[in-house]
Structure 1
């Protein structure tokens, strides 16, 4: 009996130890706003209750297992969500886990990841502007990533989505505040397109009040999902940064993008600032994109206030003006709430 009890106790200790080495988390962001929207070139105004005013809503699972010796196995399965009506994805036809679907190994060497993850362009553009990853109100993100389905025909300057599927990523360890990612997306094409692929890299330096970031991409494959050949080779790069003076945090970024089947080059400059005020911040950003070879110039300005109700919940109010050469301008505004869980 004594031996049996000892065996059971040993089993329980081992089981507890195994669970202690693994963790799984459910997390996400729910962001919804009330607004009146009119982009440059729109014929009329649209009053909305929409999802993702400051951050695209998402939910999902992530976890890690301690393999010993400083080595960990990690996974991410996260999906975008339209909080206003419960629709999955960012748009019709978006894959279910279009935000993240990957497995990685990490340790003192950095990490190696396989699957769907951020494209090189995404995080640097988020870090380099005060409105972060707002696909509704951030001028930089709008110019880079959001086409206008109106008579302007405005196209995003990002080569191939903000996330890449079927990719291999090597991330360096943190070296004195510096980190970098090297990314390769397998095209998974056959025949004449068998060598088509996406490659890119980005870097980040966080040194006290100073932030510096940048990316380069060369894309031939579309996203999300399995993807297909774009029919051209698109390249893009950007450099950006910020400096926190405590009283004000200014932001600056500049980038270019082009495709080999056209002489048009997009050149995007963005300046912005965040000023602490009370329990929140006044934030503002201005972006200008000039298209060389054609007489087309887009300028977008957003100013707003983001107030923290708690560490996980904030409310915000934003006003945005959008102009494109030869088209009527548009002004949008929205008031929303964002909750992290």
Structure 2
């Protein structure tokens, strides 16, 4: 009888453990990329800035992540996400910034509750402007080949590829933030994000972003507005309390090709400057496994009382899927800058690489 009771108890515990496991889950995932290429920033005639590199992250920054969820019942879930940038070429933690601020989980670190009301996340979370920027151009979040990403100038000033002081004044993900994503209603979704400045420094302000997206079959569009901007890149102390960004992106999949368009307007009252950015692009499936991407973008950087500086970027690339998780690519980028001083400059970069998702 005693043995029988023990067996029943063990069976009950196993059943409870199985039920608990079914209600929660944790997964390890990531993206690894290695590239070899020749890179050149825009430079004046008679000079050279070309560098040959074997590096990681031309098409997207490599990372590893942990994510999990727990079913709380009644349609309510608890979720968490922890993601760390990774330089596969060196094995070191890396990021979009050369001197990326933050700790090990600098790509994402948040906890959230989701349900019929939508999702509320606290911690570091992607900013809606970044989401729009990589969604509506054929090169995604590529800081090397995407005209949009280059013109938004997410990179640290030490390695900026566009006109100095142009672009946004914040990172791709906002720390110390509260983010709300609504349920999808007939293709529409709303997003709101608030980031606390966490300082008593005078003339600083909290930052916020509002966005709305619409998806219907082959058509997709997103409108985003951002005010504030946190600090001017990592380790900086200057706040851009009056920086405002409006962005509109759209795409349409015609089957034979997918077309992308994006327009961004940046107004920085603190420095009395304006940026106008536009991008047009296409992605064309050549076979079931191969596709060609092309994109052109222009940045018009205007400081009050001065003539405009202009930056043009044209990129073309080829991607071939070796499997569902692994692909190889090749890409070329031409960059031309027209300075208000009359000194024009140009540069070309090209690379090949391999990408793997797990």
Q: TM-score range by the shorter chain?
A: over 0.9
1:336 equivalenced with 2:353 (yes/no):
yes
Equivalent residue, structure 2, for 1:29: 31
Q: How does 1:204-243 map to 2 (within 5 A)?
A: 204-222=213-231, 230-243=239-252
Q: Which runs of 5+ in 2 are unaligned?
A: none
2 CA distance for matches of 1:155 and 1:313? 37
1:121 equivalenced with 2:134 (yes/no):
no
Equivalent residue, structure 2, for 1:324: 337
Contact in 1 for aligned 2:151/2:162 (Cα 8 Å): no
Deviation per CA, 1:258-316, whole angstroms, max 9, x where unpaired? 21123321000100001101211110000001123433000000011111111111111
- Give the alignment's Cα RMSD to 1 decimal: 2.0
2 CA distance for matches of 1:321 and 1:163? 28
1:301 equivalenced with 2:318 (yes/no):
no
Alpha-carbon shift at residue 148 of structure 1 (Å): 6.7
Equivalent residue, structure 1, for 2:324: 311
1:143 equivalenced with 2:156 (yes/no):
no
Task: Return closer, same or farther for 1:84/1:56 CA change in 2, 3 Å cut-off.
Answer: same
Equivalent residue, structure 1, for 2:57: 52
Task: Return closer, same or farther for 1:148/1:282 CA change in 2, 3 Å cut-off.
Answer: farther
Alpha-carbon shift at residue 120 of structure 1 (Å): 2.1
Q: Which runs of 5+ in 1 are unaligned?
A: none
1 CA distance for matches of 2:313 and 2:328? 22
1 CA distance for matches of 2:124 and 2:178? 9
1 CA distance for matches of 2:27 and 2:161? 44
Equivalent residue, structure 1, for 2:76: 71
1 CA distance for matches of 2:160 and 2:135? 29
Q: 1:157 aligns with which of 163, 167, 170?
A: 167
1:281 equivalenced with 2:291 (yes/no):
yes
Equivalent residue, structure 1, for 2:5: 3
Alpha-carbon shift at residue 93 of structure 1 (Å): 4.2
TM-score (norm 2): 0.90
Task: Return closer, same or farther for 1:216/1:67 CA change in 2, 3 Å cut-off.
Answer: same
Deviation per CA, 1:175-212, whole angstroms, max 9, x where unpaired? 1222221000011112535x621100222222100011
TM-score (norm 1): 0.94
How many residue pairs get aligned? The number is 340
